[in-house]
Amino acid sequence: MGLCFATNNPHKLAEVAKLLPANIRLLGLQEIGCFEDIPETADDLTGNAIQKAMFVWERFQINCFADDTGLEVHALNGAPGVFSARYAGPEKDNEANCAKLLQELSKHEDRKAQFRTVVCLILKGRQYLFEGVIKGKILLSARGNHGFGYDPLFQPEQSNQSFAEMSVHDKNQCSHRSRAINKLVDFLITD
């Protein structure tokens, strides 16, 4: 089965490809001829995931899924949340986002945070939602060279490593995205 992942993020594509069984062929947006920027204008992660998946389905009529992920920091009342990718501005600059987060948290002792991913699957025109959450904390400074986004600053519970210190395999054993994608895969296998 071919299944399009509605993302232009090569890091996400690589992570998700490792989670899918061999009988599911992951297609990127360029492989289906989608070169447009997909809008993300909803007020929450669920709305953005639905919006992106529907964009692909309505234009290409191909089974697809989309995700939206947010880092939710307790001391910042859930920020950056739905604005995680654009926290420091519309450029989606990972280093600037991390710097802003550290600056915003500099006056807080509470470092609790969670990553949350919502996946919207459109299969034969029907919509299904899956969610994954991983709790952890924001470190005082960046650690590690792997991953992307806030990975150097996020340390999941039950680990002494940041996401950026983990291999893709190890991160996929516990991450928010892998938890949501595993639910999607379980659904596809049993459907």
DSSP symbols for 23-44: TSEEE-TGGGT--SPPP---SS
Domain around 74: 2-190
Reading the block at residue 51, the tokens are 């919006």
Identified catalytic residue from 44, 68, 93, 151 = 68
Sequence-distant (6+) residues with CB within 8 A of 172 are 15, 18, 19, 178
* Ramachandran quadrant class, 85 (left: phi over 0; alpha: psi -120 to 50; beta: rest): alpha
**Mean of pLDDT values over 167-184:** 92
Nearest alpha carbon to residue 53 among 63, 45, 43:
63
DSSP state of 161: S
Do 63 and 35 touch, CB atoms closer than 8 A? no
Lowest-confidence segment of 15-29, 60-74, 117-131 by average pLDDT: 15-29
What CATH number has the domain bearing residue 93? 3.90.950.10
Q: What Rg, from alpha-carbon coordinates, does the chain have?
A: 16
Question: pLDDT band at 179, cuts 50/70/90?
Answer: very high
Reading the block at residue 124, the tokens are 């034969």
What are the Cα distances from residue 42, in Å, to 8, 39, 58? 18, 9, 18
The pTM score is: 0.91
pLDDT at position 191 is 65
Over 90: is that where the pLDDT of 15 sits? no
**Mean of pLDDT values over 163-190:** 92
DSSP state of 76: G
- Count structural domains, the chain: 1
Using CA atoms, how far apart are residues 150 and 138, in angstroms rounded to an integer? Answer: 9
Q: Assess whether 44 carries a catalytic annotation.
A: no
Of 158 and 116, which is predicted with more confidence?
116
Do 70 and 48 touch, CB atoms closer than 8 A? no
**Mean of pLDDT values over 49-72:** 96
